[in-house]
Chain A
Amino acid sequence: MAAFIQLFISGLATGAIYALVAVGFMLLWQTSQTINFAQGEFVMIPAFFVLWAIKILGVGFWPAVGIAAIASLLILGVLFKRVIVDPMLKHGVLPLVISTIALSIFLKEAVKDFYSSQAQPFPAMMPSEDLNLFGAVISSQSIFILLIASAAVLGLNKLLNGTRLGRAMQATAQNPSVARILGIPVERMIMYTFLINAVLVLLASLMISPIYLAKFTNGDTLGLAAFIAAIVGGFNQVRGAIVGGLILGVIENLAAAYISAQYRGAIPLILLIVVILWRPQGLMGRAEERTV
């Protein structure tokens, strides 16, 4: 039982990180029909912004995080939208998918060629201690991740549902033309979702890099996890993506321990296929309408 709790909690922590990434992924899809195949690389990159700032500029950890935050907002938020997404929107979904695949190659290769192809140690935001809870040993880092992720999700929820700005963003996602008629600056709302995505991937990057080490290939698994979480939970609901992320993290951990460590990666994929075939709108999602 103690082992189960241990696995469950650490699974929840990883799941919370997946959830943040999945929420950002889904926001982009909702507001601008962008299936971001570079979302995993978006999580990998901010850690290298931090490392780069520490190495080149010689600043401490927290100032480096500040620099990474600015770089993420500018590059992964503003530049990504202006340079890649905006010119592509009129061409439809597939060319944009190809473009983001190319972007993911670009980011990976850039880190490999200009920084390092080796896994880099990454400083944790707080020291890791083992806590004893009902006989189970739980890392304080897991608790810390859960707290930060919950705070981020609650904050986002408050923003989307509790403020005028958030409701304007939701209106933009649901029906851009009507939103425009009602006087909502649709373009700016879309830009805000890109900025929110940039913040979410930055948080995820800061939390996951101390565990997995910063490496240019990290995005592969993270991106896949984000897709799966978003689809399993429901592609058009924020809470869907959160539930999806948590389920995914826990299932992955439990499957590795109780079913097969080799097929650890396979269980979420099977879950994905089953969910798509049985309930394509996701566990918590609404059905999308089909147009002729």
Chain B
Amino acid sequence: MMDFLTSRAFKGTVFVLLVIGLIVLPFFLRPFGLLLVAMWMVHAVAALGLNLTLGYAGQISMAQGAFVGIGAYCTGLMTLAGVPYPIAFLCSGVLCFAIGWVLGYPALRVQHHYLAFVTLAFSTLVFLVMRNEEWLTNGIYGLTDIPRPVLLGWNTGKAQDFYFFTLLMTSILAFCVWWIISSPWGRAFVALRENPVRALSLGVDTRRYTLMAFAMGSSIGGFAGALYAPLVQFFEPNSFSLTLSLKLLLMVIVGGAGTFFGPFIGAATEVLLPEWLRIAQGYYLIIYAMLVMVLMMFCPTGIIGLGERVIAHLRQKKISSERSAQAQAMGADTADKKEGAGQ
């Protein structure tokens, strides 16, 4: 049973059940609930990207929110100008890939807290550009009436249709991330995180992989933004301030950095939990902040790490109880033999 809980088959089952649940869900939810779950998926995608940069490659980035913003503005402006959505979607990813690549260069020179501050500064700069360059971004008034796409005759204008569209895109993006992680790329990222100097001496091109980690993580953030724009249909620069970057960082760490499902769980604590805990009302953030502090104190590997620890503990218990049962059986066995010898 315990082995099953950590096995690949179990993870696969959870994934399939999750997807089935998400497909059935819309038939039970009101439009607001749908919007919320779709919002969760978009945040989870952005956190998946950051998890690639931070959790796997170990490069701290406080700019993921800025990439979501760049992606959202790119898609928003292009679709408003009449460009078909798929092209705008791809452009968002490519643009963020390029900017993320450039942002990776500081990471070649500095590490840890310095890198955190460079990315933090970048994030704030992007916010200032969004707010001040009115000719491009419409300044503080933001973008309004962003159209939802019509794909191959499928109009995603209604809440339920767009929900399914988000689910589809999230699944595709999540699959891509999963594929990157389990490819040699993913292992090179982990090598970079664990010991960059050693990775270099073992022939990993750390320079290229550092830049790649930033570029890939950022482009997934851009894709999240491209989904965000038609989902909310209205946004302004404040949606992508430093707060969003910090929130995404919290999501990744709280869920469990360096694990595939971590970002999904982390995003749920930020997006879904506040709505379910409506009783707590305005105090939710206070409670949340306290819980994060306690979690970090006792289990810095996040909620996934906490779960793994519980499973390991249960397994240990099972093994020790099995051993004692075995020892008893053996004891009884030798006693039998003695009796036999006595006869």
Please, which residue of chain A has its CB at the minimum distance from the CB of B291?
A102
The answer to whether A113 and B124 have CB atoms under 8 Å apart is: no
- In the complex, A94 Cα to B120 Cα: how many Å? 15
Given contacts A93-B112, A103-B293, contact A109 B285 (CB under 8 A): yes
- Selected interface stretch from B155-163, B206-214, B245-253, B271-279: B245-253
A270 CB, nearest partner CB in chain B, Å? 7
Given contacts A35-B113, A91-B296, contact A98 B122 (CB under 8 A): no
- In the complex, A110 Cα to B288 Cα: how many Å? 12
Please, which residue of chain A has its CB at the minimum distance from the CB of B282?
A113
The answer to whether A265 and B253 have CB atoms under 8 Å apart is: no
- In the complex, A96 Cα to B128 Cα: how many Å? 28
Interface residues of B in 103-123 (CB under 8 A from A): 106, 109-110, 112-114, 116-118, 120-122
- In the complex, A228 Cα to B185 Cα: how many Å? 35
- In the complex, A113 Cα to B288 Cα: how many Å? 14
- In the complex, A103 Cα to B246 Cα: how many Å? 12
List the B side residues contacting A35 at CB < 8 Å.
113, 116
Please, which residue of chain A has its CB at the minimum distance from the CB of B112?
A93
Asked if B78 is at the interface of the complex by the 8 Å CB criterion, the answer is: no
Report which residue of A93, A220, A272 has the largest number of chain B beta carbons within 10 angstroms of its beta carbon.
Answer: A272
Asked if B25 is at the interface of the complex by the 8 Å CB criterion, the answer is: no
List the B side residues contacting A227 at CB < 8 Å.
117, 120
Please, which residue of chain A has its CB at the minimum distance from the CB of B286?
A109
Interface residues of A in 86-120 (CB under 8 A from B): 87-88, 91-99, 101-103, 105-106, 109-110, 112-113
The answer to whether B128 and A266 have CB atoms under 8 Å apart is: yes
- In the complex, A275 Cα to B290 Cα: how many Å? 35
Please, which residue of chain A has its CB at the minimum distance from the CB of B290?
A106
List the B side residues contacting A231 at CB < 8 Å.
114, 117
Please, which residue of chain A has its CB at the minimum distance from the CB of B246?
A101
Asked if A57 is at the interface of the complex by the 8 Å CB criterion, the answer is: no
Given contacts A106-B286, A109-B285, A109-B289, contact A99 B113 (CB under 8 A): no
Please, which residue of chain B has its CB at the minimum distance from the CB of A114?
B286
Please, which residue of chain B has its CB at the minimum distance from the CB of A261?
B132
- In the complex, A7 Cα to B131 Cα: how many Å? 26
Asked if A255 is at the interface of the complex by the 8 Å CB criterion, the answer is: no
List the B side residues contacting A273 at CB < 8 Å.
106, 118, 121-122
Q: In the complex, which of the residues B106, B242, B297 contacts A88, with contact meaning CB atoms closer than 8 Å?
A: B297
The answer to whether B114 and A101 have CB atoms under 8 Å apart is: no
The answer to whether A88 and B296 have CB atoms under 8 Å apart is: yes
Given contacts A98-B296, A113-B283, A227-B120, contact A277 B197 (CB under 8 A): no
The answer to whether B249 and A292 have CB atoms under 8 Å apart is: no
Asked if A263 is at the interface of the complex by the 8 Å CB criterion, the answer is: yes
Q: In the complex, which of the residues B112, B118, B242, B249 contacts A98, with contact meaning CB atoms closer than 8 Å?
A: B249
A45 CB, nearest partner CB in chain B, Å? 14
Q: Can you name 25 A-B pairs with beta carbons within 8 Å?
A: A29-B113, A84-B293, A91-B300, A95-B300, A96-B296, A98-B254, A98-B292, A99-B292, A99-B296, A106-B289, A109-B285, A113-B283, A224-B124, A228-B117, A228-B121, A262-B131, A263-B128, A265-B124, A265-B128, A266-B125, A276-B106, A276-B109, A276-B110, A277-B110, A280-B110
Which residues of A approach B to under 8 Å, CB–CB? 29, 35, 84, 87-88, 91-99, 101-103, 105-106, 109-110, 112-113, 220, 224, 227-228, 231, 235, 262-263, 265-266, 269-270, 272-273, 276-277, 280, 292
Which residues of B approach A to under 8 Å, CB–CB? 60, 106, 109-110, 112-114, 116-118, 120-122, 124-125, 128, 131-132, 195, 197-198, 242, 246, 249-250, 253-254, 282-283, 285-286, 288-290, 292-293, 296-297, 300
